[in-house]
Amino acid sequence: MPELPEVETVRKGLNQLTLEQEIEGGEVLCDRRPSGLSHSIAHPPSVDEFLQAMRGARIVQWHRRGKYLLAQLRRKGNASGWLGVHLRMTGQLLWVAPEEPLAKHTRVRLEFKSGKELRFVDQRRFGRVWWVPADLAPEKIMTGLAKLGPEPLSEDFSVEYLRRTLERRKRAIKTALLDQSLIAGLGNIYADEALFLSGIHPETRCCDLSVSQLEELKRAVVQVLEDSLREGGTTFSHFLNVQGVNGNYAGVAWVYGRRGQLCRRCDKVIERVKLGGRSSHFCPQCQAIKN
């Protein structure tokens, strides 16, 4: 499940490998579902139109907002819109030689004149690819972009912002951390890790958090993201960087995925609860409920 550090790692790799090379063709792989023909292109509705937009384009730069990737496109010196990608759970962007055998769940191929291919591979098919025409703002087409809260590694993400945003909310802090409209880019792994590091029980109501707890939480969120970023993302799940290499962060997970194992800090057994349809892992001693 790529979260901010993984998406950022992919972005950096793409900026090293894919810029200023003409896209000469591509392919969108469809498969026949009971519900009909299915593919990963969210926009435009026509696959042909998508591929036509890709042909002849070059990528100027890759950007990231939350967990969204955005490639700025140019054709013959003119702006030609944006290529947007969201990896969701299992999506991967891989920079490969054309003769590389197609992975089973390959959804999109973009062929570059330089003799390389960018492939979007996505086992569970939650991931999405968009083309946004140059005369539209990306958030008009990629509507999720418009709803994103501040970047957690920016100055906008302050203790004061957290206090102002959470002080009247009654829901659990864990579900608030996963809400992309409050903070952009956190997912289940780093939310659980940040709550452990700040000693906060995931079921604590937002409005019950003290200012010192919010300070701890803010610090912990920044720390887990920066630590993971430094290692090139987590080794968990399906994450691979563009060159097909896993990250290095997993060894230091305090609670995520450790239900039934002993807390690395106090030896109590790590527990798991369901919150908003997502599992939350926590240490019942290090993250005692505050009233």
- Tell me the catalytic residues: 2-3, 67, 278
Give the separation between CA 59 and CA 65, rounded to whole angstroms. 17
Other Cβ atoms less than 10 A from the Cβ of 153: the count is 16
- Closer of 73 and 172 to DNA (Cβ): 172
Query: Which residue number, 52 or 143, has a Cβ lying nearer to DNA?
Result: 143
Quote the least distance from Cβ 93 to DNA, whole Å: 15
75, 56 Cβ separation under 8 angstroms: yes
| Binding positions for DNA, rule: CB under 7 A | 1, 3, 31, 33, 35, 38, 66-68, 86, 88-89, 104-105, 123-126, 142-144, 147, 169-172, 175-176, 178, 180, 187-189, 206, 272, 274, 276-279
Give the contacts of 185 (CB within 8 A, at least 6 positions apart). 3, 4, 7, 66, 67, 151, 152, 225
Q: How many CA atoms lie within 13 A of 32 on its CB side?
A: 0
**Minimum distance from residue 137 beta carbon to DNA (Å):** 15
Residue 58: CB minimum distance to DNA, A? 27
Q: How many CB atoms lie within 10 A of CB 246?
A: 16
Cβ closest to DNA, residue 22 vs residue 271: 271
Give, to the nearest 10 degrees, the angle between helix 211-230 and helix 4-17.
30
Whole-angstrom Cα distance, residue 76 to residue 205?
A: 54
Least Cβ distance, residue 89 to DNA (angstroms): 4
Q: Which is nearer to DNA, 1 or 54 (CB)?
A: 1
Nearer to DNA, 65 or 109 (CB): 65
- How much is the CA Rg of the chain, to the nearest whole Å? 20
Cα separation, 183 vs 157, in Å, equals: 8
CB of 267: closest distance to DNA in angstroms? Answer: 23
